[in-house]
Structure 1
Amino acid sequence: MTNTGFRIYTKFNRPSRSVVEGFRGIPVANIDDCMNRSACIDAKIRPLNKAPLLGTAFTVKARPGDNLLLYKAIEMAQTGDVVVVAVQGELSNAVTGQLMITRAKQRGIAGLVIDGAVRDSDAIKNMDIPVYAVGTTSNGPYKEGPGEINVPVALGGIVVNPGDILVGDADSVVVINPREAADIMERAKAVVAKELGIMKAIESNSWDISWVDKMLKEKGCEFIEAAWDDRGY
């Protein structure tokens, strides 16, 4: 179903907290490296504070500039849920601000990811609940609907399903299918360990990158023992 209806699904399958918590502290880049480097939402949806994001997707599909369904979602979402709001990237009206985000924090919500605008950015940047959005505006929202809760939504070039695991840091937010979580987690931890080893090699000036020249030659790159000069002298 592609049209925006007016319906709320009250239930969805959440992964266990132990599975979600297994991703805590793993950089988003390392996770995405294990997911064909294509599982992060678009960079236009950026973090508005420094709080790290980790939780389970609770999705909202709303009319651009309207937050009626978001109000309901904040009251429905459970501790550890991340409220994901799809409003088609619209920036004319903010769909949330300091008051609603404070309420979300009070209810144990683990963060908000919005492909639209928010307001009260000065307050948000000092909050310890993570908020990601495309931009900010002082224009307030409408409260008319329609909209849907707990359906698949598309934002930032990625489809997010209710119950997906979301991990976010200063770089981006990565979206993980819970059925693939165990495998991705183990591989991401291996990437972290590998990069720690590389960092130690860099610090000791022993990092071997001889593979770069080998790859360049294999791809047919020319190495010319002369200076480039098109001035004729």
Structure 2
Amino acid sequence: MTTTVPFVTCDLLDDHTDKDIQVLTPSLDGRFFKSYGARKIFSGQIVTVKCFEDNSRVKELLATDGTGKVLVVDGGASMRCALMGDMIAESAVKYHWDGVVIYGCIRDVDALAELDLGIHALAAIPQKSNRQGIGEVGVNLYFGGVTFQAGCYIYADNNGIIVSKQKLID
């Protein structure tokens, strides 16, 4: 189990006014990021993947060591299929990922709520994605007014999501 130092994103912003911290817009075209995992506070170094309706790369990445990391997925805000369900999320827990942020959908909501994993996504849908091996890893992502770069740091709680180039907590 990965241990996240307790924090409040509001306080991180207040305490680090000298740093360039980006704040994810809470509503994107009327859609709001929701918390689905049992872990409500999570942070880590960003790993990025861009994929549209194909979770092949998500599955691959979450089956690698994720200690101290958060996977940020740009699924193009698709509402047609889920990019993560219970089996992939269980793999993320097994490999010590701190969290997953998906600009798209998840599924298996009740099972995800039991897992010690931070999960933020736009919505839930029962439809699984197609796996065709399509997706880009390590690319810069942009959604919600924030640029997500691999190697930067992300902090998420019930107040929202913030991103910094510098580590804000030890």
TM-score by length of 1: 0.63
Judging by fraction of residues, say which structure has more strand.
2
Mapped to 1, the partners of 2:21 and 2:44 lie a distance apart of 20
Whether the 8 Å contact between 2:93 and 2:115 is mirrored in structure 1 is no
- Aligned residue pairs: how many? 160
Report what 2:88 is aligned to.
Answer: 100
Mapped to 2, the partners of 1:42 and 1:53 lie a distance apart of 18
Report what 2:24 is aligned to.
Answer: 41
For 1:139-164, what per-residue CA distance to the aligned partner results, in whole angstroms no more than 9, with x for missing partners?
Answer: 11011143111111113221110011
- Which aligned pairs between 1:178-189 and structure 2 lie closer than 5 A? 178=166, 181=167
2:136 corresponds, among 148, 151, 154, to 148
Report what 1:29 is aligned to.
Answer: 10
Whether the 8 Å contact between 2:21 and 2:163 is mirrored in structure 1 is no
The reply on whether 1:60 has 2:49 as its aligned counterpart is yes
Gaps spanning 5+ residues in structure 2: where? 27-31
The reply on whether 1:86 has 2:74 as its aligned counterpart is yes
The root-mean-square deviation of aligned C-alpha atoms, in Å, is: 2.3
Whether the 8 Å contact between 1:47 and 1:172 is mirrored in structure 2 is no
- Structure whose alpha-carbon radius of gyration is higher: 1
- Which aligned pairs between 1:1-233 and structure 2 lie closer than 5 A? 24-33=5-14, 34=16, 39-43=22-26, 44-51=32-39, 52-62=41-51, 64-178=52-166, 181=167
Mapped to 1, the partners of 2:111 and 2:64 lie a distance apart of 24
Gaps spanning 5+ residues in structure 1: where? 1-20, 186-233
The percentage of aligned residue pairs carrying the same residue is: 21
Judging by fraction of residues, say which structure has more helix.
1
Letter paired with 1:161: Q
TM-score by length of 2: 0.84
Larger relative contact order, structure 1 or 2 (CA cutoff 8 Å, min sep 6) = 2
